[in-house]
Structure 1
Amino acid sequence: MNRGKRPKIKLTITDRRGKTGCHRGHHVGEVFDYDEDRGKICPMAMHCAFPYIDILRYGGSLPGQPEGCAEFCCSDADVILVFKAEMENC
């Protein structure tokens, strides 16, 4: 990892498991740059994403997940969008 420069993180919406559509209009297939698109991503999803982003950026990994990747869901029980976070080289 390059000191002083945080690795780029890409967020992709991969699935929806809830009964309703996203209240912010997000949909499966949408892709975001975590740093560049923060204002475009639902705050509930950002709240859920932050711990995973932190883990990836500081060299951690998650059990059962490929290195440099993390999958998580937003916290809206009606919507339940599934996100995949990937570092540049995932």
Structure 2
Amino acid sequence: MKIKITLVEQKGTCPCHRGHKVGDTFDFDTERGKLCPMAAHVLFPMIDILRYGGELKSNVFCCPDVDTINVFKIEKVD
């Protein structure tokens, strides 16, 4: 199973310091190095839950950068 991560919204007042833009999509297995380390740190536990058969109440999560607030969607791809 693959995990696809998509930036779906930016709510903060500053652009992403890593340069991410709405619509950017990442394959967690092959492109995690391109993903902002702060976002990857937040998303990793949710990705683990999905990989090991768990379910999430929501599939959207935001990065911890209060000035940017990137909102990411996580999806399982079979």
Into which bin does the TM-score normalised by the smaller protein fall?
Answer: over 0.9
Unpaired runs of at least 5, structure 2: none
Q: How many residues align?
A: 78
What is the match of residue 13 of structure 2?
19
CA offsets, 1:30-67, max 9 Å, x none?
0000010111111000001101101111111122x3xx
TM-score (norm 1): 0.83
Identity of aligned residues (%): 56
Return the alpha-carbon distance in structure 2 between the equivalents of residues 52 and 79 of structure 1: 21
Q: Which structure: larger Rg? A: 1
2:33 paired residue among 23, 26, 39 = 39
User: Relative to total residues, which structure has the larger helix share, 1 or 2?
Assistant: 2
Larger RCO (CA under 8 A, 6+ residues apart): 2
**Any runs of at least 4 consecutive aligned residues in structure 1 with deviations exceeding 2 A, and if so which?**
none
Report the aligned-residue RMSD. 0.9
